[in-house]
Structure 1
Amino acid sequence: RTLIDFFFDQPIFFRCLLMKYKDRLHHEDFNKGDHNSYYYKLVYFVLNSMTNPPRQNEYRVFMDIKDTRGREQLEQIERVFVNKYAGNSPFTHFQHIHSDENELMQLTDLFIGAITYKARGEHLKKGASQVKKEIIDYLENKSGYSLDEGTEPWEEKFNIFDHQPKNLK
């Protein structure tokens, strides 16, 4: 509870993308057949979303190290924003880090863990972790949102973008 309270009392923000139906992804039709390219397109989408306030803020982007090509993908996202904002991007720093070496990334991992635990229905299964269920309940209480349904698009403090691929079958 103390960590969750800390987050809600500080001028820091959390934003993630929730995708419940990964089996509906058709990379070969829409993403050049590459899950990694799709992943970084979604990173760009989350950063570029309408929930970002106007240029009054600067953002430092830290991402957990995903794979060996992640650095070049992140550099490409940075170049896209530099071009989009004619050299005056609100995203002033991009960096890959190991989440276990950074307390704020560990807090992010806690939030993502709670979101995915609920979205996958793990909290409803027999033998579900009582501690995880308590974290989910407390986080939903503090945020005012159900973790498996996403938030309002304009929510700034604790934003979950509920992205669901269409079922094309």
Structure 2
Amino acid sequence: MSFTLVLGGARSGKSRHAEALVARHPAPWAYIATAEGWDDEMRARIAEHRARRDGRWETLDAPLGLPAALAGIGTRPALVDCLTLWLTNLMLGEHDTEAATEALEDALAARGAPTVLVANEVGLGIVPENALARRFRDAAGVLNQRLASRAAHVHFIAAGLPLVLKGEA
């Protein structure tokens, strides 16, 4: 099954757009969340996202086990929010990002249901001042390119407005 990749900057409207794309399909829907609430600010962001979703959404937390979560939801339409936080979790935990990306690609190829992936486009700003941040920016760019090349649809969100980069709206 094909998938859609939704890219954009922080607070650009990516998640809302991705939710609307998934909601075009019959419920129930799976929301696979990769964020972890390590501090008050992040817990508030997570709560805001959860409050937007009604009972037709089932939330699964998968800060590292994203491929397994996708494999475990069967034929339900799915939203993954977000790949950038998943990559962060992998890198900070010193996991093999190449192996994890290959497992994600395999899980996506095996999906028999609509899937929408959200990721931040982090390479549009200034060059980060430290090596870890530069390594992360580069890894996120490579991950986005790799998945965009396989995606049937790629949307870029800026100021809440979608721009279709690949496929149809």
What range is the shorter-chain TM-score in? 0.3 to 0.5
Give the TM-score, by structure 1 length: 0.38
Higher share in strand: 2
Give the TM-score, by structure 2 length: 0.38
